[in-house]
Structure 1
């Protein structure tokens, strides 16, 4: 502990573990500490006994649910876009060698009280049950424009400058109906509300292209992949990477108090009477609560079931997006399921999650529209978690604090935060121009 480090990282959540891995690869001397005796922090995966202890206050789950150690229940459940930024980071760092992935079976959207497959290409638009005949043709033309659009090829722009044209104006050009816009904006472009409609259309089109490219990567029923044994494997994989490049890990370190000099700059971390010195501190919001502010909260339900989600073609793993307008809400609701096929539960068992940006203090009532789609559940647990963002100026205090995880069921916003933090810490841009064909080799 009496050594000096370039960076001390506090908390072994996914964001912190990715950063410690990236910084170690860059040759920085990294010490990584956690007050818990396990990896993952808020983004850990729990066995059945741990799940019971967390939600029910005892460690005696019913025997009919099967072996505790066969469960790996994510506390921050998310899928990975097969062509997305997290996959690029995994390949860039060669962390894929520590993990095995499986394609997610299905991607669905809730529309007018029913669950239907998300149409993502011009071919799927023509087959979709979500649109009438004329709307299918209009949607097909729009999908062809998106598929053909190349930023550096003006011929593919159809005379539109997507830096200036808003998403609303682009959609209007194709005459799409409100329900179709809802599906495209929320289930394909994965926007969490309708603010995107009045912003430049470039990001909207890029998000749609990412979805379509991810869908094409594994020729499956969705654009998502998911690691075997749950997301708790991800922080541990990046921790291994950091250790390979000289990073030092200390779990079960109580308190972990950040020390500041007279100018308010962090210079070290004290735990159990010893202080390790450093130039910079990286941490999650719980380690520096006076330097963050609450910006919202996530309502979550965790369900153990003995069957797949109805109307999802018996999918073992699936995402269902419930757009805000369908529920009369300000933000979308997400339904997410994985099963024994991903080694996260005993044979015959499924784990379903319902998440949303909380708009009330009553998660049971708020999450009911999605929970009702699940059919009978063996067990259900509810919780609400506060979301925080940093308020400090890192150039003044040498502290780099991650934002809390949002309600989305994909990792794009998570990794955006990591990449921005990496640039602030190092002054460099992370180069993620990698060969994505390596991702296919990492997935089963």
Structure 2
């Protein structure tokens, strides 16, 4: 590293360029803090990296276990790939850079805190997004004459087009309307019984009478100690198949619910479903967006914002361990009250900082563990899973394939996203690896998933990789807490299979607030403020335009079709939209 980097003292040193760390770096730099952002890799993203074919094969074949450090607080990465099965095609090697393989494929809900932050902070201008074209579920024993892979009915149009029976359609529509009326922003301290109050809170208008009384019988079911699955079954009368749609197709749950599960509370579940429902149609018919060129683009874009505000970046950084204040720490002493003075590099020198933020894969010495693993499969195929559907999300509920105890998430991407060459499709399969299952059985399990998912694909995959990666979790026991200095923050996701980036902003903001109490978290950029001002002006213009069209329609000749489209309109509709936030 450059000698000048050791001469300064930083407000924060961040180790790892994962999505949460990158948001923290951008928010601190935006607040005027001096940030040094380090990564031991030669690419951005850390455990959310997107790799070219050559990079992926080097990463997947790298040694899994590094030599343990003798330092008391080592910063050695424990994130590794355990390669289980690999079938490559050397013909792809000249086109290595045409691939962008996500280590962990992720999506964004159109109506989510992360999208809001991307827009308001201006980071969205560094990114292009494409919408998924559908959400599907797999059933080994499909009902209602559905095929094994069938589309999740999540909008009014989908419900009426589905093969559900009349009663199921009615019950599902009633539930979706209840969620739309409920909204995530109902004041919790008082009962709200009229829709107009809720509409004002949620800043939306329903196509129903404003003062219509809400379903009074539904409000008592919102007690925090109620079972969400019981509410679905008893109050909304959803069949077992529809409960699976809600739990796994909408909430993207990973394990079967239990009655005392904290993550399945009524309010949290309704808030999540409301975010899903209101994401439909915001940018596209599908609620899900995914960045072009891979998920690491999200992390890299926040790093760009940090660099704009003088954040300093070093890849291939030779980090060694956390440097502790020698005057405070004695041998064997409790270090929880001690101060970390910075990060030491392999040559023994120290970059000093008031705070240190580390990715969970570096946090083994400060109470971060990986008790389970994520089982991943990447398949390159010539034809899509569903005819004429290039980008989709497919959910396989627990127990559908070999009595799996976790859901299986499948994401299909195409060449228009910049992740594979023209004419090919990437199919990502992700699930939690069954505990204590031998490697050969894990491969057999993944190949069984492949058989079911790619059952209608005309030819076998032309490239395959099956591997596991560790899942990280912070431990809050006394021993780990005593090892964690007060000014060191560990970023580690819970042990769960998350396909969407729901918690990143919340985790990043918590760290930012601890370092910069009282400061604004990623305030609006000048561009966003100008957009807001323009929106007010556009509303006035739109109102005048609508009035003019109304007058024009009234004066149009009898028999004219005001909704007729031109050839230009049809050609524009036929193109694949790219969403620039």
The TM-score normalised by the length of structure 2 is: 0.70
Residue 346 of structure 1 and its aligned partner are, at CA, apart by 0.9
Residue 219 of structure 1 and its aligned partner are, at CA, apart by 3.2
Residue 420 of structure 1 and its aligned partner are, at CA, apart by 3.4
Residue 431 of structure 1 and its aligned partner are, at CA, apart by 6.0
**Alignment-derived partner of residue 126 in structure 1:** 160
**Alignment-derived partner of residue 199 in structure 2:** none
Q: 1:98 to 1:260 in 2, by over 3 A?
A: same
Aligned-partner Cα distance in 1 for 2:271–2:114: 16
Task: Note if 1:107 corresponds to 2:135.
Answer: yes
Aligned-partner Cα distance in 2 for 1:270–1:245: 25
Please list, as runs of the form range in 1=range in 2, the aligned pairs for 1:24-173 lying within 5 A after superposition: 24-55=29-60, 62-64=90-92, 67-113=95-141, 114-129=148-163, 131-150=164-183, 151-152=186-187, 153-155=192-194, 156=214, 158-159=216-217, 160-161=219-220, 162-164=222-224, 165-171=226-232, 172-173=234-235
Q: 1:23 to 1:348 in 2, by over 3 A?
A: same
Comparing 392-401 and 238-247, the one that deviates more: 392-401
SS of alignment partner, residue 104 of structure 2: coil
Residue 400 of structure 1 and its aligned partner are, at CA, apart by 0.7
**Alignment-derived partner of residue 184 in structure 1:** 246
Task: Note if 1:326 corresponds to 2:406.
Answer: no
Task: Note if 1:257 corresponds to 2:321.
Answer: yes
Task: Note if 1:386 corresponds to 2:425.
Answer: no
The TM-score normalised by the length of structure 1 is: 0.90
In angstroms, what is the RMSD of aligned CA positions? Answer: 2.8
Name whichever structure is richer in strand by fraction.
1
Residue 404 of structure 1 and its aligned partner are, at CA, apart by 4.3
Rg comparison, structure with higher value: 2
Aligned-partner Cα distance in 1 for 2:519–2:430: 32
Structure 1 contact 55–381 (Cα < 8 Å) conserved: no
Comparing 4-13 and 288-297, the one that deviates more: 288-297
Task: Note if 1:226 corresponds to 2:290.
Answer: yes
Number of matched residues? 438
**Alignment-derived partner of residue 539 in structure 2:** none
**Alignment-derived partner of residue 244 in structure 1:** 308
SS of alignment partner, residue 195 of structure 1: coil
Aligned-partner Cα distance in 1 for 2:269–2:259: 9
SS of alignment partner, residue 367 of structure 1: helix
Residue 192 of structure 1 and its aligned partner are, at CA, apart by 2.2
Residue 55 of structure 1 and its aligned partner are, at CA, apart by 3.2
Aligned-partner Cα distance in 2 for 1:266–1:430: 26
Q: 1:76 to 1:245 in 2, by over 3 A?
A: same
Structure 2 contact 283–579 (Cα < 8 Å) conserved: no
**Alignment-derived partner of residue 70 in structure 2:** none
Residue 11 of structure 1 and its aligned partner are, at CA, apart by 1.0
**Alignment-derived partner of residue 489 in structure 2:** 400
